[in-house]
Homo-oligomer: A and B are copies of this chain.
Amino acid sequence: MSDRCNFSRWLALEGLRATPVRLAVLEILGEAPRALRAQEILELIRARRRVNKVTVYRILEDFTRRGMVRKLSLEGRVNHFELACEHHPPHPHFQCQTCREVQCLEPVALNRIWTELQGPVGNRADHIDIKVEGVCHKCRDIS
């Protein structure tokens, strides 16, 4: 996924130095087949280099503010992160109620329900998050 992104160039465009930790965060998110928790990202970086958790949290927060990364609040207390590059448009997510694993679903057209979701007159809707909950195929096989 998104192997086509030039992360060094992307950071330069944002006015950020292409430090090893920043590049590691982007590469790990770019290779991930699903949204990752901060702790998973931390452990994956630590497989290649020594790093403090605060650094990773601050980078993820900064990337989120800049819109380079999407922060997903799928369940309380633990956030998931995914790349928000041009190759990863927003899309719905599936979370299994048994194993808590998260899947990325294909983008859906929301044109028809978008206007219904604007809410009371005067609100400005910027984007829609869709989360589907259920039981994944792996957990269904077990039971």
Residues of B within 8 A of A125 (CB): 94, 132-134
A53 to chain B, nearest CB (A): 16
Which residues of A62-90 are within 8 A (CB) of B?
Answer: 71, 73-79
Contacts of A120 in B (CB 8 A): 103, 137
Residue in B77, B79, B94, B113 whose beta carbon sits within 8 Å of that of A110 in the complex: B113
Whether A108 contacts B113 by the Cβ 8 Å rule is: yes
Q: Is the CB of A128 within 8 A of B131?
A: yes
Q: Digitize A108-127: 1 where CB-to-B-CB distance is under 8 Å, 0 elsewhere.
A: 11101100111111111111
**How far is B122's CA from A75's CA once the two chains are assembled, in angstroms?**
22
Residue A135 CB within 8 A of the other chain: yes
Q: With the chains together, A103 CA to B122 CA distance in Å?
A: 13
Contacts of A32 in B (CB 8 A): none
Give the docked Cα–Cα distance between A87 and B129 (Å): 25
> A71 contacts which chain B residues (CB < 8 A)?
76
Beyond A97-B126, A113-B113, A126-B133, 16 additional contacts (C-beta under 8 Å) are A76-B77, A92-B117, A94-B125, A96-B123, A108-B116, A117-B130, A122-B137, A124-B135, A124-B140, A125-B132, A125-B133, A125-B134, A126-B135, A129-B133, A130-B130, A130-B131
